[in-house]
Structure 1
Amino acid sequence: DVDLPPRVSLANSSGADLFVSVHANALSMARPDVNGIETFYFEGAGASARRLAAALQQQMLAISPGSPDRGVRTGRFFVIRRTVMPSALVEMGFLTGAIDSRRLADASFRRRMALALSAGVLNALRESQ
């Protein structure tokens, strides 16, 4: 429940090497056909942010067979635009999607997704060394 500017301020003052903002997408309940995983990075943040986003996307897709790959994309979200470290914003699926909503409601899937994000972070850190 932290607003965006304090969230960025906390991230920037923490000394963190990376920042990941975790979300679940949503559309109208009339669009259960829209599903998928996507990850955003800020284009002006450089190659490290792109590598982080790609590592996260790869790991999320690996534990979610059948989820559409909506790709690694550039975005201008406040939390990835204003942080000083490589940052990514992940959308783990659509709460309104027929495929994704069932998965996101499952605690076991959410745990696997958390582990996938951890693995993606570790992979990105390894690649940066």
Structure 2
Amino acid sequence: MDASILDSSQKISGNQVTLTPAKVTKLVEGIAKQQIKEDGYPYILSDWDEPTSETHIDEGNHQIAKHIAQTTIETAKDDLDIINDLGNQVGGNDSAAATLNPVPNQMNIHYAVRDFKDSQQGHDMTSKE
């Protein structure tokens, strides 16, 4: 992974909640858009309320996503809890990961952090936080 991406992206914290309600809302909306694209229906929204549109994120669906984000943040102890909760809401399996993982990446939110520079290899080493 390119170290400059890691330096400029938001890191997922395992110690505290750093994701804002606006970012978590965008995560939820991104997941809903993925589901609409792949399955023709925003299942993540329908678990909380009846979607006001099945084809796009309109104001009603945005409000559902905001509610999901706020509730998810209130019950989370850190960013990993938020990501894991969203993953569980979309099934918690490999197909859920395929739906969830692209969304944080598109928002420049990453799990990896730069730990050290490998002087022998001349490049940065990354690991999972």
TM-score, length of structure 1 as denominator length: 0.37
Give the number of the structure whose residues are more often helix, by fraction.
2
Greater gyration radius? 2
The structure with higher relative contact order (CA 8 Å, sep 6+) is 1
